[in-house]
Amino acid sequence: MPTRDKKRYVISVLVSDRVGVLRDITSAVTGMGANIDGISQTVVEGYFTVILTATFDRPKPPEEVREAILENFRKDEASVVVRPHERKDPARRTVDGEGYVATIAGKDRKGILKAVTSFLSSKGINVEDWYVEFRGEYVTHIGEITVPRALDIKQVQEEFQQAVAPLGMKACFQHENIFRATNEVGPIKSLLAPPGGTNSGAPHE
């Protein structure tokens, strides 16, 4: 069982986007003697959201951390959640498998995400990241997923396509290495090689 780290926290902030939001969050955290050692942020429909991990010099009550961040915002401007970090190996995926990129595209309608996530979870496939782009009445979903090694990827892809077909959507899976090689600028060898090493020719996690 993972144990809680009394000096490391996971912090999530949601606020209407404006200039200086990230500065106001990070300055409050570092001002309490913390080192921010992980961060991911995005803006969706005018709302800024960030999740970060921070390690403090000494244990701090979560509410004290939360209040310090809120002091840099107007009353009711931001929503802040602070919880102790639960130790686990960050290099390991939640699911023992390989990374793929799922792409779903078509005319937007209700129920797409429900159908997609219901299918993925029923197969034990973990969603690592998800991005949605709207263009008029059409939508494209791009998700980073981990598919268990025990599954037959061709069969899963066929079943996935069948699951979203009634919604008028087209879908496919691509191994993450192939997706990166065909969608990023740069030499293929450097894209496929694991950080700090040479590529052995086998997919890496």
Q: Is the pLDDT of residue 9 over 70?
A: yes
The average confidence (pLDDT) of the chain is 86
Q: How confident is the model at residue 104 (pLDDT cuts 50, 70, 90)?
A: very high
Cα 39 to Cα 26, 78, 86, 198, distances in angstroms: 10, 18, 16, 27
Mean pLDDT of the 140-150 span? 93
Ranges in the chain annotated CATH 3.30.70.260: 4-86, 97-192
Report residue 80: phi and psi, to 5°.
-130, 130
Domain covering 97-192 in this structure, CATH number = 3.30.70.260
Q: How confident is the model at residue 184 (pLDDT cuts 50, 70, 90)?
A: low
Rounded Cα distance between 160 and 154, Å, is 10
**Residue partners of 34: CB distance under 8 A and separation at least 6:** 54, 55, 56, 57
Rounded Cα distance between 38 and 53, Å, is 5
Domain covering 4-86 in this structure, CATH number = 3.30.70.260
Q: How confident is the model at residue 191 (pLDDT cuts 50, 70, 90)?
A: very low
Q: How confident is the model at residue 177 (pLDDT cuts 50, 70, 90)?
A: confident
Q: Is the pLDDT of residue 205 over 50?
A: no
